[in-house]
Amino acid sequence: MSGGANDGVDINDTVSYADLTAGVGVTVDLNITSSQNTGGAGSDTITNVENLIGSNYADTLKGTNSSNILGGLGGNDTIDGRGGSDVIIGGKGSDNLTGGSSSDTFVWQAGDDTGNPTDRITDFTVGGGNGDKLDLSDLLVDEHSDPVTLDAYLSFSSVNSNQDTQIAVDADGAGPSASQQLIILQGVQMASLGGTDQAAISTLIAANALLTSG
């Protein structure tokens, strides 16, 4: 599979395993340009491709040192963007997400909270030149940008001996429900965000690290 650099059609080419029915996920590294054993889809040779969509099973997806879009779909995925400003979409399931260097955007979509998954971001950076973003605009039923209003949707807590911050996302803001998305920001201490829900929301919005409206 080759995207063909500057092929005159679309230099942002995408490889997708969304239709895979093998019952086993794929392991794909966009840095490898020779034949690689993907697991669930056999051996593939992938060159000049920027974007990668996994399967509905547990995948391991790795980007390049350029900007990529990496989507996990279903399953408990491990996604690593490496360099570049990446867009990382874990999808359904509990995912382990790494943006890598540069500013990355982590996206949650409607329905990703099915089954109360817990996603972990291993290297989230708040603010600064390489600040990352949480994009919840499609997951939240009603989109808001006011910290007071968002307090009904987002609950923050310290976890793992106060070393990490957990965000509980209530998609409709109506209180406890059958589905809730948990997001753990590894290495981000709750105190650095202000210590309370509204303070944390305000800190993230001020740093352009929280997107809640389209």
Q: Is the pLDDT of residue 61 over 70?
A: yes
Beta-carbon count within 10 A of 206 CB: 12
Tell me, yes or no, whether 2 lies in a domain: no
Domain count, the chain: 1
Tell me, yes or no, whether 168 lies in a domain: yes
Confidence tier at 5 by pLDDT (50, 70, 90): very low
Tell me, yes or no, whether 4 lies in a domain: no
Structure tokens at 174: 């109506």
Tell me, yes or no, whether 183 lies in a domain: yes
What stretches of 144-188 adopt beta strand conformation (E)? 154-159, 164-169, 181-185
Tell me, yes or no, whether 6 lies in a domain: no
Tell me, yes or no, whether 142 lies in a domain: yes
Beta-carbon count within 10 A of 104 CB: 28
pLDDT for res 6: 30
Tell me, yes or no, whether 7 lies in a domain: no
Report the DSSP beta bridge partners of residue 119.
183
> What average pLDDT does the segment 113-133 reach?
96
pLDDT for res 145: 73
Domain extent, residue 164, equals: 14-211
| pTM attached to this predicted model | 0.92
Helix (H) or strand (E) run with residue 121 in it = strand 118-121
Tell me, yes or no, whether 177 lies in a domain: yes
73-95: pLDDT as tens digits: 999 999 999 999 999 999 999 99
Judged by DSSP in three states, 199 sits in: helix
Judged by DSSP in three states, 22 sits in: coil
